[in-house]
Amino acid sequence: LDAKEKHLFIGFYQQDSNIQIQKKLELQNRLKNAIKNNEFVLYYQPKLSLSDFCVRSVEALLRWNSKDGIVLPNEFIPILEETRLIIELGYQIFEQAIDQIKAWQKIGFTISVAINLSAVQLDDANFLEKTFTLINRSNVDRNLIEIEVTESTLIKHLDRLTKLNEYGLKIFLDDFGTGYSSLSYLKEVPISGIKIDIAFIREMFEKKNFEILKTIINLSKALNLKVIAEGVETKAQANALKSLNCDEVQGFLIARPALAKDIEHLFRGPFLIGK
C-alpha cells in the first residue's frame, strides 16, 4: 500500500466507525428514555419439575416494549451494560419481579421468580445495600427470589453473591457448559443449582455429549445441586432428561417467555409431556 491508499483506507474506516458511533449514541439515548418511560417489561418463562410435572418457579426475562415492537435482550443488554444503565434498571427489575411474586401469592400461587444479574450490576458498590433495602421494604418472602449468574460473574463477585445467599436468596449458575466449567469448583460456591445451557441441550443426543450430560447431572446431584435444563424444545429431550434424573426443564416445549397473565394457567398443573 502506498501512503495515499493507506490514508483512503483509514478514512473509510473512520467514516464507517463514526456512523457506528452515531448509531450507538442514538440507541443509548433511546434506551435512557425507555427506562424513564417504563418501557421495559418482564416476561416469564416457567421451569417444569420432572418429578411431578408442576411449575413452582419461573425465570424473569427482560423485554423492551418499544414503539417499533418487542425488542429482545441481545439487542440492548450489551449497551445497557456498557453505559452502566443496567444498574439503575436492574433495581426496577427487582421491584417488578417482587411485585409479581406478591401478586401471584395473593391469588393463591406460591411461585419463585429467578432474576438474571450481570457482572456490571454486581460491580455497583451499593449493590448489596440497595438490594437488601428494597427486599426488606417489600416484605416479600426471600425464599421466593432466585438469582441467575454466569460462571464468570459468580467467580468475579463471589463475596457479594455469598452475602446475597446468606441473606436468603438462592443462586443458580446460568449457561452451564459454555464457559470454563471446571466441575471441581462447584463444591465451593454458594449455589443451589446449575442451568445447563441451551447449546448443550440442543446437541444432547450426540454420543459424547450424552455421556458428559450424564456425568454433569450425577455429579451435581451428588453435590446436592438442583439441575435445570434450558432450551428444551422436544419431548424426546424432556423424557431423556427425566431418565437422567434432571430436576427441571425450561424451554419452548413447555412455554415461551410470556406476560404473567399468559402463563398463570400452567401453575394449576400438572403439565404432562407425553411420549
Which of 102-110, 116-124, 154-162, 165-173 is the region at the interface with ligand C2E (rule: CB under 6 A)?
A: 116-124
Q: By C-beta, is 19 or 199 nearer to Mg ion?
A: 199
* Closest CA relative to residue 57, chosen from 270, 241, 267, 202: 267
Q: By C-beta, is 116 or 121 nearer to Mg ion?
A: 116
Residue 61 interacts with which of ligand C2E, Mg ion, none, CB < 5 to 8 Å by class:
ligand C2E
**Residue entry with cell 427506562:** 35
Strand 40-49 to 145-149 pairing: unpaired
Tell me how far, at minimum, the Cβ of 182 lies from Mg ion, in Å. Answer: 18
Residues with Cβ within 8 Å of 92's Cβ and at least 6 positions away in sequence, in order, are 35, 38, 40
Q: By C-beta, is 98 or 147 nearer to Mg ion?
A: 147
3-class secondary-structure state, position 113: strand
Tell me how far, at minimum, the Cβ of 146 lies from ligand C2E, in Å. Answer: 12
3-class secondary-structure state, position 31: helix
8 A C-beta contact, residue 255 and residue 266? yes
Decide if residue 231 touches ligand C2E (CB under 6 A): yes
Crossing angle of the two packed helices 158-167 and 127-138, in degrees rounded to 10: 20
Decide if residue 46 touches ligand C2E (CB under 6 A): no
Q: By C-beta, is 148 or 248 nearer to Mg ion?
A: 148
Sketch the per residue contact string, 48 through 77, with ligand C2E: x for CB under 6 A, - otherwise. ------------xxx---------xxx--x
Helices (H), 53-126: 73-82, 85-106, 119-123
Binding stretches for Mg ion (CB under 5 A): 116, 148, 174-175, 230
Q: By C-beta, is 85 or 177 nearer to Mg ion?
A: 177
8 A C-beta contact, residue 171 and residue 147? yes
Q: By C-beta, is 177 or 251 nearer to ligand C2E?
A: 251
Decide if residue 175 touches ligand C2E (CB under 6 A): yes
Decide if residue 177 touches ligand C2E (CB under 6 A): no
8 A C-beta contact, residue 145 and residue 97? yes
Residue 131 interacts with which of ligand C2E, Mg ion, none, CB < 5 to 8 Å by class:
none
